[in-house]
Structure 1
């Protein structure tokens, strides 16, 4: 079960790396669609800068999640996985209220599943 949980948490990390890369380097049309924003807004220099800034946070969060799995063990690993998945859930809830409801399902639900698996079975 521990390996299964670590794989789930790793998938969450990989997901955030992908989200980060998408926010930093994705096409403006696809970004506009993903975030339910007008294409003309996403094409603006300030919006592009904001998306890249948001992207680096998601990219680094994904790398951190993977690094935690590789570096730590035992109770420390469990605590860090709970903190990181909890962080993702809070950010997903905020994103669902401020950007698009899709975020709660795409980011929040996997984090909730990971959090519960770690909490009860790791």
Structure 2
């Protein structure tokens, strides 16, 4: 179960790194607009907000990476529990307020990784 926890936590971290890149660097570009279904004018008007969201995703990545470096079964476990919990809460909030798709793209992977970490 340790390897499952490590792999799932790493995948969640990579997913949030991808969100960071999309939100901070590609929000107004075709890739970002397509990923989030945005019109060019809205993307331009909201790019500062998206960059802020991207920065928060970066904090999640940093926390998860630090937890993984410390070890999922050792000193890193509380870090992983905290940051995966943040991912799940953010995913649930996003699903309730923005799009149900976020439930499957963010909350579910985070919940699966969190369950695996708890099982270690």
TM-score (norm 2): 0.85
CA contact (8 A) 2:88 2:106 kept: yes
Query: How far has the Cα of 1:33 moved from its partner?
Result: 3.8
Match of residue 105 from structure 1: 104
Deviations 1:4-31 (Å, cap 9, x if unpaired)? 2111101111111111011001152443
Task: Name the counterpart of 1:58.
Answer: 57
CA apart distance, 1:35: 3.1
Say what the alpha-carbon RMSD is for the aligned residues: 1.9
Give aligned pairs, total. Answer: 119
Pairing 1:28-43 to 2, within 5 Å after superposition: 28=28, 29-43=30-44
Could you tell me the TM-score, scaled by structure 1's length?
Answer: 0.84
Structure 1 unaligned residues grouped into runs of 5+: none
Give the aligned partner of residue 81 of structure 1: 80
Match in the other structure for 1:8: 8
Gaps of 5+ in 2: none
Aligned residues of 2:72 and 2:117 also touching (Cα < 8 A): no
